[in-house]
């Protein structure tokens, strides 16, 4: 018999003090993939200690990079790339491993990898990635779950119109285009802050990318990239999760090391719920009422809309509001799996397709629940902090993908959470 790890969350304790927000998972992963494009060493600061970051490190090592970690700094030496394949078990460890495809073909002219694993949020196709790379001259043979890719001579710049502003596809195209021959123009590109961070890193390495953060990104291919030093942006979803934890427990909490510009879509939700949010520079403070107000409607949209990754923790918070909140999930199918677990804790939620209607209840109760995915798991932690009694949460591998020792962070601000 082997034991399953659990978080035991004793609800009903107010949070207090200040918490530092770690570097963004969704920035660190593409930036780490990008390090393999350099003929030299890159030093990446503010890399969070997450299992997805470790999975990226394992992939880079397999490809031939030498990596040293010192706290949250990773030094990646990619002078000697020795292979263009990623074994199936490494691809399956992390859904976002597909972002390595653009980088590997860019550096090596070939790639062999399997489809990224799982269907955590419903089907996650990669058709936009493959169509774009084919437009750039990549020959892709899809067989038996593997992608066998090669380039005749060079990847070529192309005009790529994305039918949806996919974050991963935009990143993959940037990685492929930065060393391609000629100019690539992406229209309807994703505009997330993580795209800007990737462009800033690549430009510091000698790349020529303009327009990142807007709908049109232009990449002039260069012959070679060199290593550089780069600091990953703060994690806007981790910051939002801590804000929901403060709000649901009626607490006053400080956040430091944030970028408030990346939180402009979520701050109004907290204000609507009756919280007072103040910020200056990289610090923010939230003061929460005894009873939260409902949020009329939360619609998830591509950036700069409300982030789909924040939907679950904000829903947890809405379960204890004094009325009805409505959620519309426009980005992923099956992104309401946490709703079923929240029901076990006494929440009142009805889901119909893309829409979830949350009727606020008086109390949540501790229960045995399982994290269905990364942000759904975070939502259950948030709910547990405000529930009467103890919540036992399993499925912690999901949470460890995106939150750096969640239990230590929360304990440091007064929560009673332990891992057994
Ligand atoms: C990234 C984030 C993830 C976030 C998501 C949306 C990383 C590592 N992950 O995921 O946390 O929830 O953005 O903000 O940065 N789609 C297709 N075909 C494709 C690609 C995407 O149909 O080839 C669809 C997806 O199924 C989904 C939507 O487009 O419905 C958005 O996906 P995308 O923006 O690509 O998300 P990811 O890059 O996977």
Q: What is the pLDDT of residues 181-219, one digit of tens each?
A: 999 999 999 999 999 999 999 999 999 999 999 999 999
| C-beta atoms surrounding 252 within 10 Å | 15
121 Cα–ligand 1 center, Å: 10
* Beta carbon of 164 within 6 Å of any ligand 1 atom: yes
pLDDT beneath 70: ranges in the chain: 1-3, 117-124
The C-alpha atoms of residue 420 and residue 412 are separated, in whole angstroms, by: 18
Dmax over CA atoms of the chain, in Å, equals 65
Query: For atom 37 of ligand 1, which residue has the closest CA?
Result: 168
Query: What's residue 252's pLDDT?
Result: 98
Query: What's residue 119's pLDDT?
Result: 45
The residues near 280 (Cβ < 8 Å, ≥ 6 apart) are none
Query: For atom 7 of ligand 1, which residue has the closest CA?
Result: 26
3-state secondary structure of 377: helix
The C-alpha atoms of residue 369 and residue 389 are separated, in whole angstroms, by: 13
65 catalytic per annotation: no
Q: Is 207 exposed, middle or buried (0-12, 13-18, 19+ CB in 10 A)?
A: buried
User: Which two tokens mark 351?
Assistant: 């889901």
Ligand 1 test: best mutation among 174, 265, 331, most atoms within 8 Å of CB?
331
315 Cα–ligand 1 center, Å: 20
Q: What is the DSSP letter of 81?
A: -
Residue linked to tokens 């929240």: 342
Ligand 1 test: best mutation among 166, 195, 237, 402, most atoms within 8 Å of CB?
166
Query: What's residue 137's pLDDT?
Result: 97
Inter-axis angle of helices 311-318 and 374-386, nearest 10: 20
The C-alpha atoms of residue 293 and residue 307 are separated, in whole angstroms, by: 21
166 Cα–ligand 1 center, Å: 5
| C-beta atoms surrounding 350 within 10 Å | 11
Task: List the catalytic residue out of 38, 47, 65, 119.
Answer: 119
């Amino acid at each position: 018999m082997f034991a399953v790890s659990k978080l035991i969350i004793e609800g009903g304790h107010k949070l207090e003090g200040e918490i530092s927000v770690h570097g963004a998972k969704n920035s660190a992963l593409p930036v780490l993939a990008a390090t393999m494009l350099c003929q030299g060493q890159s030093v990446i600061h503010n890399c969070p200690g997450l299992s997805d970051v470790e999975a990226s490190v394992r992939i880079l090592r397999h490809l031939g990079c030498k990596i040293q970690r010192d706290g949250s700094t990773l030094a990646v030496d990619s002078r000697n790339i020795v292979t263009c394949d990623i074994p199936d078990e490494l691809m399956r460890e992390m859904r976002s491993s597909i972002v390595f495809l653009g980088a590997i073909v860019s550096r090596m002219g070939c790639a062999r990898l399997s489809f990224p694993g799982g269907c955590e949020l419903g089907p996650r196709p990669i058709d936009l990635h493959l169509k774009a790379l084919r437009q750039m001259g990549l020959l892709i043979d899809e067989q038996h779950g593997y992608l066998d890719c090669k380039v005749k001579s060079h990847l070529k710049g192309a005009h790529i119109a994305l039918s949806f502003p996919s974050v991963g596809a935009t990143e993959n195209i940037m990685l492929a285009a930065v060393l391609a021959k000629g100019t690539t123009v992406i229209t309807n590109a994703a505009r997330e802050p993580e795209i800007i961070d990737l462009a800033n890193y690549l430009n510091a390495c000698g790349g020529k990318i303009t327009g990142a953060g807007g709908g049109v990104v232009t990449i002039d291919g260069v012959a070679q990239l060199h290593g550089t030093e780069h600091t990953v942006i703060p994690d806007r979803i981790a910051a939002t999760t801590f804000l929901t934890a403060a709000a649901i427990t009626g607490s006053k909490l400080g956040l430091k090391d944030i970028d408030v510009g990346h939180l402009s879509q979520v701050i109004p939700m907290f204000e609507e719920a009756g919280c007072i949010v103040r910020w200056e520079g990289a610090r923010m403070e939230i003061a929460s009422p005894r009873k939260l107000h409902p949020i009329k409607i939360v619609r998830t949209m591509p950036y700069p809309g409300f982030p789909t990754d924040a939907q679950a923790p904000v829903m947890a918070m809405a379960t204890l509001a004094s009325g009805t909140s409505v959620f519309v999930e426009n980005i992923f199918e099956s992104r309401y799996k946490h709703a079923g677990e929240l029901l076990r804790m006494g929440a009142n939620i009805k889901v119909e397709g893309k829409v979830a209607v949350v009727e606020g209840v008086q109390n949540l109760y501790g229960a045995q629940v399982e994290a269905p995915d990364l942000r759904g798991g975070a939502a259950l932690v948030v709910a547990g902090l405000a529930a009467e009694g103890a919540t036992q949460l399993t499925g912690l591998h999901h949470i460890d993908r995106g939150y750096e020792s969640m239990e230590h962070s929360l304990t440091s601000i007064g929560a009673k959470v332990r891992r057994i």
